[in-house]
Structure 1
Amino acid sequence: MKTRLLLTLLLLLFSSYIFAQATFGQLTAKEQGITFINQYKSSSAIPFLKLAAEAGAPEAQYYLGEALRKSNRYITAEALHAYEASALQGDIYSMIRLATADSDLCAAIKKCSKGSKSPDDWMRTAKELAKKEADEGSSESMYLMYELSGEKFWLEKSATNGFALAQFLLATKYLEGEGLFLSSSSRTEKAEHWMRASAQGGYPRGMMGLAAILIEKKDLEGFRLWNEKAANSGYVEGVFGYASYLAGEPSNYGYSLDFVKSYALLSLLLELDGGGGARRDVEDILPNVVEKITPEQIQTAEKLAHEWKATHPPLSFFPFKLSR
């Protein structure tokens, strides 16, 4: 009896260990898949996201749908299945993709797969759920109500309730001329208010947006602060800008020259070969940096690049989650 009990306990412990290992592996796969998506490497993301999606994680299923859609340039049957699996678990982003399937390229080339619900049904479901969650105080769902309805009221409400992406979008709209203001200075002040809120909320695009506003105001210290914060977040635009300024391109922003660090950061960006133009930009200026450092300094820079990658978030373009 004791032997049987002991064997049962050992089996349970072993099963728990195997489950924990599988769960950890699937979680790691999801993170790697999303990293590739954010680096515009959709094809590379697919095998990782498939592994994570098998565990039933709705976010992994959504991103699998995204990777498949972007790799094929339309919603394939496999992508549709991934979106639906996610949407059936309440993922509003997936519902929105399914709701707009009629406008996808598949409609033009007559390759649309038939789902369990029509796009109109998914649109209704998405609006009902987003409205419910927004009424319960979810600032992200308030933003999704803006995406679903196009009503600026929801964007403003989401920003007021602290959703950093909404704050960035609202600031950008003001900078682009939307909204009524008594003067250009009041427009700029309002845009800076929301961009600063976004940056302080940890959104890298907001950090770079604030840096751009501050350089217009000749606030070099503020510009450097937020550019470096954006670089430390892994935002490609921030890393490239910071590396360029350290090499003196341009030289009027108050940075001390540091060609070794510039080389280190620029070399990291060379892995971005999936799109976005960063690699091309790096190849334009990296030779100029190489001319100014010794082979020994290049070795130091390569070590620094390795350390940076190990201690900072993965490089990312931070594309919008609902980007086309």
Structure 2
Amino acid sequence: MFFRHLIASALTTLLCFSAWAAPLTPEQHAAKEKGIALYNQYKAISAEPYLKIAAQAGDKEAQYYLGEALRLNNRFMTEEAYKWYVAAAEQGDYYAMYRLSGTGSDLCSAMGNCPPDHRTPGDWLLLGRKTAQALAEKGDSEAMYVLYYLSNNFEWLEKSAEAGFPIAQYDLARLYEQGKGFFFPPWKRSEKVEELAKKSAEGDFIAGIFLYQQFLEGDDTAIRYWTEKAVNLGSAEAIYGYGAFLAHEPEQYGFPLDLIKAYGFIYMLKDLDGGGGMQENVEYKLPKIASKMTPEQIEQAKVFAEEWKATHPPLSFFPPKLGF
């Protein structure tokens, strides 16, 4: 019964979303951005109503993220999550196709009762490969990256990295770091990992920045530069570290003492409401900084935090789009 209802629901969704010509209204776009921001703060439950506004309006990216939020919140592929993945996939979203290709036992394929016109996980895998490859052959570096996961063909990851996709550069660096590939002489491996990490960092990929910083020990000027770069991109982890360094808690890498900014950066992490386990860090570090400050300085720090948030991207943990 569940699977028959699942297929009917998915087909109904496709009929309802058969035409996607209308762009999002400003209100729908704002809801989408808010939903994705909450998802990236590990607050997928809070993200759902915002994502649903844009998903119902036909935005395929919002549909994909809504499927992700529903799947993660329920810890398995639900009927509703499946519906939104299908809606996104039917609009050509290869991330959704990848997710549908791995659904396996959650769907009617496990029961052997799929209707003739129903796509199995294998069908979605083939469609995902076809969709991504068509774009990859035109030079789309992101499509090359997803095609690697859809095909398990390592060459596509290398091509994506060569084409400049920063996430692929990071993933390739980590795989080389773990022993993938052949390098002679052996030290060329470390050189290649550093080269890829630097390129990924230069592409504003947060994980790439963190990886590249591992090669910069002893170069405090470079470490400060990349820390501040990650902070300005909204990385919650970088902001916590930056606030601690500015407070000299600990004193490291030559960061100047600035208690007002230090308190402000740590204080703004309260907005995460415990997302990513950050609340414990805030509760530990903020009183240590406050003990060095006057009440007036603390108020100045709170004003600084509000002004910073108004002019920078939202706080984020930058989870991978392919999910968990």
TM-score range, shorter chain: 0.7 to 0.9
2:45 alignment partner in structure 1: 43
- The corresponding residue for 1:86 is 88
**What does residue range 217-228 of structure 1 map to in structure 2 within 5 Å?**
218-228=218-228
CA distance in 2, matches of 1:304, 1:52: 32
Structure 1: unaligned runs, 5 residues or longer: 1-18
Q: Which residue matches 2:317?
A: 317
Q: Partner of 2:255 in structure 1?
A: 255
Deviation at 1:95, TM superposition (A): 0.7
Runs of 4+ in 1 over 4 A off after TM superposition: none
Q: Give the structure 2 partner of residue 63 of structure 1.
A: 65
Q: Deviations over 1:228-274 (max 9, x none)?
A: 10011001121111111111133131111111111100011112235
Once the two structures are TM-superposed, the CA of residue 184 in structure 1 deviates from its matched residue by 5.3
Aligned positions, number: 298
| Equivalent position of 1:11 in the other structure | none
Q: 1:77 to 1:256 in 2, by over 3 A?
A: same
Q: State the 1:77 CA deviation.
A: 0.8
**Partner in structure 1 of residue 123 of structure 2:** 121
Is 1:214 paired with 2:216? yes
Identity rate of aligned residues, in percent?
Answer: 47
**1:100 equivalent in alignment to 2:102:** yes
> Could you say what secondary structure the match of 2:280 adopts?
helix
Per-residue CA deviation, residues 78-135 of structure 1 (Å, 9 max, x unaligned), is 11111111100100011111111116xx57xx99x97942111111100111111111
Alignment of 1:124-139 (within 5 A): 124-139=126-141
The alpha-carbon deviation at position 295 of structure 1 amounts to 0.7
CA 1:114–1:237 in 2, change beyond 3 Å: closer, same or farther?
A: farther
- C-alpha distance in structure 2 between counterparts of 1:57 and 1:209, whole Å: 33
Q: Deviations over 1:6-37 (max 9, x none)?
A: xxxxxxxxxxxxx99x7111111100000011
Corresponding residue SS for 2:244: helix
In the alignment, is the contact (CA less than 8 A) between 2:198 and 2:212 conserved in 1? yes
Task: Tell whether 2:65 aligns with 1:76.
Answer: no
Match of 2:242 in 1: 242
Secondary structure at the aligned position of 1:277 is classed as: helix
Number of the residue aligned with 1:198: 200
Tell me the equivalent position of 2:273: 273
CA distance in 2, matches of 1:164, 1:321: 13
Conserved? CA contact 1:29–1:51, under 8 Å: yes
Partner of 2:33: 31
Deviates more, 1:280-289 or 1:178-187: 178-187
TM-score, with structure 2 as normaliser = 0.87
Q: Residue 261 of structure 2 aligns to which amino acid in structure 1?
A: K
Structure 1 Cα separation of the partners of residues 102 and 170 of structure 2: 24
Give 2:125's aligned amino acid: M
Rounded to whole Å, the distance in 1 between the matches of 2:272 and 2:114 is 35
1:66/1:180 CA distance change after superposition, 3 Å: same
Moved more, 115-124 or 190-199: 115-124
Counterpart residue type for residue 36 of structure 1: L
CA contact 2:68–2:323 (8 Å) conserved in 1: no
Matches of 1:48 and 1:293, distance apart in 2: 39
Contiguous gaps of at least 5 residues in structure 2: 1-21
Moved more, 244-253 or 66-75: 244-253
| Aligned residue in 2 for 1:167 | 169
The 2-side partners of 1:150 and 1:288 are apart by 49
| Counterpart contact for 2:60–2:88, Cα < 8 Å | yes
Q: Report if aligned partners of 1:271, 1:279 keep a CA contact under 8 Å in 2.
A: no
Deviation at 1:183, TM superposition (A): 4.7
C-alpha separation in 1, matches of 2:225 and 2:175:
24
Cα distance, 1:178 vs structure 2: 3.0
